[in-house]
Structure 1
Amino acid sequence: MYEADVQHWADVIVMARRYGWLLDPISDKVPLTLDDAYAIQARVLSARIERGERRIGWKLGYTSLSMREQMGIDLPNFAPLTNRMVMHDGEIISDRVIQPRVEPEIALVLSRPVSAGATPEQVLAACAQPRAVLEVVDPVWRDYRFRLEDNTADGSSAAYVVLGPQLKGCGDLSRLRVELACDGRPVAEATGAAAMGHPAQAVAWLATELAAHGGRLEPGDIIITGGLTAAVPLPAGGTVSATFGGLFGIGVSRSGRRSA
């Protein structure tokens, strides 16, 4: 894809997010490689930074079989997180979202850099704290119809990241049980192992992938390591919550009234 085409599609995605448009996938119209998609993603991030946002970390997508099966995606991907995407436990999402879904994740917050080729043990040694997280995804692609490349260009659908409590004393994160509920009704459960076998393994994968794109994991980065269960819709007036290890809870609600 030519540079002018990369900029064009980045501009289209930026405008779609700004005005709440839903789009047909880019790959329906033109050939789109994964390298093209990451180039578009980088231009979208640049536009957000020009508007005053600041990159604070990264998100991983499709690290679990549940998410890959739900969306028909074969491989994981990654995308940046910015400060304006961060929410906190119990907050209400504005009505700007269009087709939001929520997935429970484990985040690792780094105290030291992590380089390409790092082992999961080295990732954990560089981790200041694991945290409970809910990610709210809200793609610009109509009816959640997209290929991996479209999803990557759109920042892996990331809209908001709800930061929950530190997961203190939880032991092996791969064995940590996570239960997801909608309006208090249990809908799914998984363990931390759903994220590539261990959240730290997912971060090790990210470190190597970022290096291939000229990036690096830095101290202070928040990395959300991928949805552990399939994502569930967040209806107007609804609440999605998760419990981690039976001890740590986190929730997010959406404003507005439910449709009849």
Structure 2
Amino acid sequence: MTAPGAVAEAAERIWAARQAGRTLDAEATIGSPDLATAYAIQRVLLGLRLAAGERVVGWKLGYTSEVMRRQMGIDRPNIGPLTDWMLLASGDAVHERLVQPRVEPEIGLRLKTALDARQAPVDRHTVAAAVEGAYACLEVVHSTWTGYRFNLEQNTADNSSAGQVVVGPRLPVTDLMALDTVAVRLHDGSDHTLGQGVGADADGHPLDAVARLARELAAFDQRLEAGDWVITGGLTRACALEVGGRLVGVFSVMDVSAIDLSVHRR
């Protein structure tokens, strides 16, 4: 693992670039760290966010779907923390510091009780019992790395490209086991479809995605807390949000009800 000083320097360079609204070359900035070092950089980066007044509100899961892994050339999922600064409402504009934002629709879950895989095994049924509700979400990803050119470790160090998250209405799902059937469509505001997917694209089931997150956090001696948001991974390709543009996600439950939420860029 890289020396602590180098880890701190890498995190500070990422943070400075994000604050300034500029991008960096991944290889020139941090090289090719191993995954343990990448998560160490991510933790220091989070510390800088907290020092700036942000607070942790949950977690994101990256690359849980095959379509996202194919798009970005990543072979397995990763994780990253979410902060209150990242949260948006439907119709909001992304922050101007996000200079290369992309959007992907996701199913978000909010916990009513903590989940700790250090204490007992966690599976989809354990997760379902801990979840308060499922929500329509749009993740606005933003990479510090110019042109989204990175490997898994570089992306992990950069907080799995976490930018902002549009949190929409609660999905009208009475049985959380049916989340794998929720259908999503991303369009450009003129109703031109950019991508489609279903809940099952996230690790086979969004609840399974959260169970895996709980196990990964346990390896870092952490747990999911009551009140945490978890966005379970992009269900379509991530599509660029251009200046002056607007992207809309449509979430359908059992082909009966549809929920629309949008985000735009000034």
TM bucket normalised to smaller: over 0.9
Deviation of 1:25 (Å):
1.1
Are 1:16 and 2:17 counterparts? Answer: yes
After superposition, the C-alpha distances for 1:38-83 in whole angstroms (9 at most, x for unaligned) are 0000000001101110000000000000000000000100000000
Q: Which of 180, 184, 207 is the matching residue for 2:186?
A: 180
- 1:148–1:27 CA distance, 2 compared to 1 (3 A): farther
Gaps of 5+ in 1: 256-260
- In structure 1, what residue type is equivalent to 2:68? M
- In structure 2, what residue type is equivalent to 1:221? D
Could you tell me how far apart the structure 1 residues matched to 2:109 and 2:124 are? 12
Q: Which of 188, 199, 202 is the matching residue for 2:206?
A: 199
- 1:1-260 → structure 2 map (5 Å cutoff): 1-26=2-27, 30-116=31-117, 117-169=121-173, 171=175, 172-183=178-189, 184-245=191-252, 246-255=257-266
Matched-pair identity in %? 45
Deviation of 1:96 (Å):
2.4
Could you tell me how far apart the structure 2 residues matched to 1:37 and 1:83 are? 23
| 8 A contact 2:18–2:97 mirrored in 1 | no
Could you tell me how far apart the structure 2 residues matched to 1:146 and 1:211 are? 27
Query: Counterpart of 1:140 in 2: which secondary structure?
Result: coil
| 8 A contact 2:59–2:81 mirrored in 1 | yes
Kindly report the root-mean-square deviation, in angstroms, between the aligned alpha carbons of the 2 structures: 1.3
The TM-score normalised by the length of structure 2 is 0.93
Could you tell me how far apart the structure 2 residues matched to 1:100 and 1:175 are? 28
Deviation of 1:24 (Å):
1.0
| 8 A contact 2:10–2:29 mirrored in 1 | no
| 8 A contact 1:27–1:150 mirrored in 2 | no
Aligned to 1:258: none
Could you tell me how far apart the structure 2 residues matched to 1:175 and 1:236 are? 33
Could you tell me how far apart the structure 2 residues matched to 1:139 and 1:6 are? 18
Could you tell me how far apart the structure 1 residues matched to 2:28 and 2:217 are? 24
Deviation of 1:27 (Å):
7.4
Gaps of 5+ in 2: none
Could you tell me how far apart the structure 2 residues matched to 1:27 and 1:166 are? 42
After superposition, the C-alpha distances for 1:161-204 in whole angstroms (9 at most, x for unaligned) are 00000002365000111111112311111100000011000000
Could you tell me how far apart the structure 1 residues matched to 2:188 and 2:20 are? 28
- In structure 1, what residue type is equivalent to 2:219? A
Could you tell me how far apart the structure 2 residues matched to 1:199 and 1:122 are? 13
- In structure 2, what residue type is equivalent to 1:234? L
Give the total of aligned pairs.
Answer: 255
Could you tell me how far apart the structure 2 residues matched to 1:169 and 1:10 are? 40
- 1:57–1:3 CA distance, 2 compared to 1 (3 A): same
- In structure 1, what residue type is equivalent to 2:12? D
- 1:31–1:231 CA distance, 2 compared to 1 (3 A): closer
Query: Counterpart of 2:7 in 1: which secondary structure?
Result: helix
